[in-house]
Amino acid sequence: MREREAGVLLRLLHKSSSATLPQAGVPVTAAAAELSILPEEVQLLAALINEKAEPLIHSPAIELCGQPGKLRLRLSAPCDLLDADEINRLSSGRGRVEVLTFTPSTNTALEECLANAVSGDALLAELQTAGRGRRGGSWHTGLGHQLTMSLCWKFSSVDAAWGLPLVSALAAVKALSFLKLPIKIKWPNDLYLNGGKLCGILVELHPLKRPSGTICAAVIGMGLNVYAEERITALLPSRQISALGVQGQLPCTRSQLAAALISALRAELECFSRTGFTPYMRQWEQYDFLKDKDVVLELDDGQQVQGRNAGADEHGRLLLKTADGLQAFAAGHILAYS
C-alpha cells in the first residue's frame, strides 16, 4: 500500500474521532471510495498501519467498530496529525515538503533521494519506526506526539559545513521563540528545556558528484518532543526528557510547528552558506546550556577530557579550558557536566 493511501485513511479516521459520535467510525466502503481501492484493501491497509504503529504505541491504532465494516482510530488521547498542504502553505523559503505516514528514518528516506533533492527540501513522518540519534542512539516516537523531520541543504564542500550542527540548533530555538520557553542548547545541537532533553538533531554529510566536481549534501534530522507522553518517559528511565507542553494547551499545531522549524532552518542555512559560523558565535553564547560548567568530554577514540566550557570557536568546535590550556574539539560526547 502506498504512503498516500495510509495518510488519507489516518486523516479520515482522525476526522471521525473528532466528531460528535466518534464511536460511529468510518464505513470501510466510504474509505475505499475515498482511496479508490477495494474494501478488502482498506482493511489490509489498516492492518499494515497497526503493524507499524503497535511497537511504538503498544496497542492497535485502528480497530473495527462494533458495527460490521467500520473502522475507527483507537488512541488514548486526541491525535494532532500533520497536514502537508498546510505546512507547505505556511513555510517560507525554497524547497518542498512531504509528509510520510511511516518510515524507518526520515534521514534515511531523504538520503535515498539526495541526487534529485534541492536545498530546503524537507521530509516528515507521522510514525518513525527506527529513528537514529547521534553516536548510534535511537529516537523514540509515538503517533501525534513528536515531530520527526529531515531537511536537505547542499554546500560547495565539507569545509563549508563547519558549524552546521550548531546553526541548525540555533535555528530551531529561534523557530520556537514564540512559545517564550527557556530553551538552551547543549553542544553541539541538543535542545534542553528545564534540564530535560527537548530535541535531538542528527546532521549527516554526504558527498555528491557533479560535472563540476564533488559537493557536500547535508541531511539535518530533527526529533522534537511536542507533547508530553508518559509512555516515552517510561522507555527512558535513566534520561530526563521534556516536551513543549500538553496537547490542547499549546497555541499551535504540529503542522504549524513544522512550518516554523522548516522556515527558520531555510533562512538560517541560506545565511550560514554565505557567512560561515563566525556571526553566530554571540548567539551561541546566549543559548549555551554548558556555559561556565565543568565538562567531561568523551572523544571518538574513548579518551576522556575534563575542562571548563569556554563556548565555541569560529568553526563551531567546543572550547574547553583544560589543564593543558585552551583546547578545541570538533567531535565528542558530553559524558557529564556540573
Identify which of 183, 181, 224 has the alpha carbon closest to the alpha carbon of residue 202.
Answer: 224
82 pLDDT more than 60: yes
9 pLDDT more than 80: yes
Contacts of 296 (CB under 8 A, 6+ apart): 304, 305, 306, 334, 335, 336, 337
Q: Is the dihedral of CA 302, 305, 310, 314 positive or negative?
A: negative
pLDDT, tens digit, 9 for 90 and up, residues 191-210: 999 999 999 999 999 999 88
Domain 290-337 adopts which CATH fold?
Answer: SH3 type barrels. (2.30.30)
> Is there a contact between 170 and 267 (Cβ–Cβ < 8 Å)?
no
pLDDT, tens digit, 9 for 90 and up, residues 84-97: 999 999 999 999 99
CATH architecture observed for domain 84-285 = 2-Layer Sandwich (3.30)
User: What does the pLDDT read at residue 146?
Assistant: 87
**Structural domain boundaries of the chain?**
3-73, 84-285, 290-337
330 pLDDT more than 60: yes
Residue 282: all three cell numbers together: 554571540
Q: At the top level of CATH, which class does the domain 3-73 belong to?
A: mainly alpha
pLDDT, tens digit, 9 for 90 and up, residues 254-293: 999 999 999 999 999 999 999 999 999 999 999 999 999 9
